[in-house]
Chains A and B, each alone.
Chain A
Amino acid sequence: MGKTIVEKILSKHCNKNVKAGDFIVANIDLAITHDTTGPIAIETFKQFGVKKVWDPDKVVIFLDHATPSPNERISSIHSLMRDFASENGVKLYDAGEGICHQLAVEKGHIMPGFFAVGTDSHTCTYGAINALSFGIGSTEMSGVFLTGKLWLRVPEVLKIIYTGSLEKGVFSKDLMLYTVGRIGSDGADYLAMEFCGEVIKAMEVSDRLTMCNMSIECGAKAGIMELDEKAADWIKARSSQPLDIEAFSDDHDAEFASIHEWDVSNIVPQVACPHSVDNVLPIDEIQGKEIQQVFVGTCTNGRYDDLEIVARILKGKRIYDSTRLFVCPASRDVLIESIDKGILLPIVEAGGTILPPGCGPCPGTHLGIPSDGERVLSTANRNFKGRMGNNKSEIFLASPATCAASAIEGVIADPRKYFY
Chain B
Amino acid sequence: MLPLRLRESLLIPENIFIKGEPRKMLYRGKAHVFGDNINTDYIIAGKYTKTLDYKSMAKHLFEDLDADFPIKFHPGDFVVAGRNFGCGSSREQAPIVIKISDVKAVIAKSFSRIFFRNAINLGLPVLVCDTDQIQPGDLLEVGIAQQQITNLSQNIVCDVKPLPPMMREIVSKGGLVEYLKEYGDFLVPD
- Complex: how many Å from CA A143 to CA B52? 19
Known: A120-B90, A186-B84, A364-B46. A137 touches B37 (CB 8 A): no
Give A335 to B117 CA distance when docked, in angstroms: 37
Q: Say yes or no: B117 contacts A66, CB within 8 Å.
A: no
A122 to chain B, nearest CB (A): 9
Quick one: closest B residue to A185, CB to CB? Answer: B37
**Structural contact, B10 and A43, CB atoms closer than 8 A:** yes
A146 touching B2 in the complex, CB below 8 Å, given contacts A40-B52, A66-B50: no
Q: Does B72 contact A (CB under 8 A)?
A: no
A144-181: CB near B (< 8 Å → 1, else 0) gives: 00110111010000000000000000000000000000
> In chain B, what residue has the closest Cβ to A41?
B92
Stretch at the interface among A73-81, A90-98, A285-293, A325-333: A73-81
Given contacts A40-B92, A149-B185, A186-B37, are A137 and B177 in contact (CB under 8 A)? no
Q: State in angstroms the CA–CA spacing of A178 and B1 once bound together.
A: 47
Per-residue 0/1 for A299-342: is the Cβ within 8 Å of any B Cβ (1 yes, 0 no)?
00000000000000000000000000000000000000000000
Q: Are A219 and B87 in contact (CB under 8 A)?
A: yes
Contacts of A151 in B (CB 8 A): 166, 186, 189
A221/B113 in contact, CB under 8 A: yes
B176 x A143 contact (CB < 8 A): yes
User: Which A residues touch B3, using CB under 8 A?
Assistant: 76
Q: Is A378 an interface residue (CB 8 A)?
A: no
List which B28-52 residues lie within 8 A (CB) of chain A. Answer: 37, 39, 41-42, 45-47, 49-52
Give the complex CA separation of A143 and B120 in angstroms: 13
Q: Per-position contact with A for B124-151: 1 when CB-CB < 8 Å, else 0?
A: 0000000000000000000000000000
User: What's the minimum C-beta distance from A358 to chain B, rounded to whole angstroms?
Assistant: 13
A385–B42 Cα distance when bound, in Å, is: 7
Interface positions, chain A 379-395, Cβ under 8 Å from B, are: 382, 384-387, 389, 391
Write out the residue numbers on chain B whose beta carbons fall within 8 Å of the beta carbon of A35: 50
Q: A150: which B residues are within 8 A, CB to CB?
A: 186
- B50 with A386: CB separation less than 8 A: no
Q: How far is the CA of A83 from the CA of B122 in the complex (A)?
A: 25
A39, closest chain B residue (CB): B52
Interface residue B20 (Cβ < 8 Å from any Cβ of A): no
Interfacial chain B residues near A384, Cβ < 8 Å: 39, 41-42, 64, 88
Least Cβ–Cβ distance between A158 and chain B, in angstroms = 14
CA distance A14 to B45 in the complex (A): 37
Closest residue on chain B to residue A46 by CB atoms: B12
Please give me the residue from chain B that is nearest to A119 by CB atom: B90
Q: Report how far A142 CA is from B187 CA in the complex, Å.
A: 17
A-B contact pairs, 24 of them (CB 8 A): A25-B186, A36-B91, A43-B52, A44-B12, A65-B50, A73-B51, A119-B92, A121-B88, A121-B90, A140-B117, A140-B176, A143-B121, A143-B180, A150-B186, A185-B37, A219-B112, A363-B89, A365-B47, A382-B39, A382-B88, A384-B41, A384-B88, A385-B42, A387-B46
Binding site for B on A (CB under 8 A): 14, 23-25, 35-37, 39-40, 43-44, 47-48, 65-66, 73-74, 76-77, 79-80, 83, 119-121, 123, 135-140, 142-143, 146-147, 149-151, 153, 185-186, 189-190, 216, 219, 221, 276, 363-365, 382, 384-387, 389, 391
Chain B positions near chain A (C-beta within 8 angstroms): 1-3, 6, 10, 12, 37, 39, 41-42, 45-47, 49-52, 63-65, 83-84, 87-93, 95-96, 110, 112-114, 117-118, 121-122, 164-166, 175-177, 180-181, 185-189
